[in-house]
Amino acid sequence: MNQASIHKYLATESKKTIANDVEALFEQRLATNLTLIKDLFFSLYPEKDHKKSFVKLLRTLPILFEQRPSPLKLLDIQRINEGNWYQSEQLVGMQLYVDHFNKDLKGLEKKLGYFEKLGVNFIHLMPITPRPQGENDGGYAVNSYYEVDPRFGSTEDLLDLTQKMRDKNMYLMLDFVANHTSNEYVWAEKAMAGDPKYQNYYHIYPDRTLPDEFEKTLPEIFPMTSPGNFTFNTEMKKWVMTVFNQYQWDLNYSNPEVFIEMLGNLIKLANLGVDVVRLDALAFMWKKLGTVSQNLPEAHALISLFRMCLQIIAPGVIFLAEAIVAPKEIIKYFGSGTMKGNECEIAYNATLMALLWDAIATKKAVLLYKNIHSLPEKPKETTWINYIRCHDDIGLGFEDHHIHEIGWNAKSHRKFLLDYYCQKIDWSPAKGHMFMYNPKTGDGRITGSAASLLGLEKALEQENQSKIEQAIAKIIMMHGIILSYGGVPLIYAGDEIGALNDYSYLEDHDKKEDSRWVNRPHQDWDTIAQIDAQKNHHSQIFYSLQHLIRLRKQHPAFADRNNIILYEAHNPHYLIYERPMGKNNGVLVVCNFDEVPQAIYENTLGSYGSKSNPTDLISGEKITFPNGTLRLMPYQMLWLGKTK
């Protein structure tokens, strides 16, 4: 039982009126979490030095609670009573840039009906807060944590949007860039002006002595565009830690004042009507000499401390871990040991994402099986965000030993994947681009829209109808997997109509060096306006995904209860997994990753064989097994249900 479960129990047991519950339940949550908060705080900030800071935190919590709007306090209680609402099969998400989607927040509000038509009810807006002019890492260089950049509208526009979304039972996710601010943020400006208080809010050093020591173990995140991890600031004549980009200053969380102030920023963001807070770059939040300063135990303690405080003030708001790290490290962001289930409620399933792209390139699911089998089970109170791509690049974060165990060479295999997707192999249908290739290590990442990576762009150029159909089948199958796997599916805006690479970024001085913009297209509303009238690849993809989303919501087996069972296919081209529920309400997902038809024996499907009279939920057709086998066409996917 995690802390959220305890809060639900206490809320259920409360006999007070609703009017009194709000204040009483705050006191209950504070009392319930206080010991954990104390232990976490003093594990990071030794009591002998930071007792006053702890007292300040305790005085801050009720102040922040009072600032939370009354309607959101009532929603918090509703969410507590609902329990793990974020594990529901009813949730389907979409990620987008507001200005690329429909100009601004008012424009987005006008398109809520489009989300409803597709079946989307969970929206992740890329950063809408103020940022520097010019380069700003797509808004992840933060000038404010809770204001709205005028290019997107106003705070009032955001509040109107979140109210209308709540009226429609839709959920909003926004980013909290916890690791760093921009060099224009008010703290950075005060630091540059010479204020020692704010210089201690960052990792700032008078000479290269400590930076050089850090550099011995710190990796380079963007070796081509931002080599090294420190930047010399001419105003201070000092060195600033800038792990990501020169204009992004890393916060110094070893200073408890930074934590307390950032908690205030977090609550102000949540008070705008945010349901899920995406903790950006959280793996980097704690720095320690002699380490890579990623995934440190102190970072996990810090995240848990944020969550325990947020749970007291705004328990209806949850955390998503933006931790694109090794599979064994991702699981830790749900919490481990005494804090199991008490860190982030949701995490990106980056492992599944990368392995799906591996399976497409190799036409085999063997590496996917190897990795998934090795992952420990996540806490029951948590869930995944499942996606085939996002605004970012596609990394190849598999563990080498898994590649070796199936008889492949890890270095050669990664090179093959980069070549396959980045137009280095003539026969590959993919039209992707390389991102941040490091010639020293051979490591690189992949950019491109889902449709272009899956062959649609090249097939359209060649006017090859069979290849077009094959690319469409891949797009539908990939999305069908994230819609049926355990967790919240997240579709990138444009992928639902097969958007291709957008090369316009090459004409923008501030974007042309960042190939990730190729997979951040503007929403094509002209095409969408014709989606009902024209039968083409756009409409085929849209209505196929709409159909799958509708089916997902009709089958409670797709809710995440840690109910996923991998089946051994005995055919390397197949991926098979079950979402069990009761005797006859489960669903078996069967996928063929090969470009030619493939067959498997009926007994591979367990209880979903002929005796259960299975039906493909997608097509509505009964499944037959000629000669005791099941045959799937290239990139075909079945969702099998038993006939009751």
Supply the residues annotated as catalytic. 280, 322
- 189: tokens are 């400006």
The C-alpha atoms of residue 380 and residue 481 are separated, in whole angstroms, by 21
Backbone angles phi, psi at 205, to 5 degrees: -135, 145
Sign of CA dihedral 210, 324, 225, 259: negative
> Max Cα separation, the chain?
80
**Residue 273, helix vs strand vs coil:** coil
Closest residue by Cα to residue 469 from 498, 494, 426, 448: 498
How far is it, in rounded angstroms, from Cα 617 to Cα 635?
17
**Residue 362 exposure: Cα atoms within 13 Å on the Cβ side:** 23
* Residue that the structure tokens 């481990």 belong to: 336
| Cβ partners under 8 Å of residue 98, min gap 6 | 104, 105, 107, 108, 125, 126, 128, 152
Q: How many other β-carbons are positioned within 10 Å of the β-carbon of residue 643?
A: 10
Work out the angle between the directed axes of helices 350-362 and 465-484 (0-180°, nearest 10).
150
Q: What is the DSSP letter of 420?
A: H
- Cα 31 to Cα 13: distance, rounded to the nearest angstrom: 16
Structure tokens at 266: 């977090």
CB 281 within 8 A of CB 322: yes
Q: Is 503 exposed, middle or buried (0-12, 13-18, 19+ CB in 10 A)?
A: exposed
54-62 contact pairs (CB < 8 A, 24+): 54/256, 56/260, 57/256, 57/259, 57/260, 57/263, 57/309, 60/260, 60/263, 60/264, 61/30, 61/309, 61/312, 61/313, 62/26, 62/30
- Contact yes or no for 446/432 (Cβ under 8 A): yes
Cβ atoms of 431 and 457 within 8 Å: the answer is yes
Nearest residue to 272 via CA among 176, 156, 379: 156
Instruction: Compute the residue count for the chain.
Output: 644
What is the SS3 string spanning 187-256? HHHHHHCCCHHHHCCECEECCCHHHHHHHCCCCCCECCCECCCEEEECCCCEEEECCCCCCEEEECCCCH
Looking at the DSSP bridge assignments, the partners of residue 446 are: 394, 434
Give dist(CA 483, CA 486) in Å, integer: 8
Say which amino acid occupies 444.
Answer: G
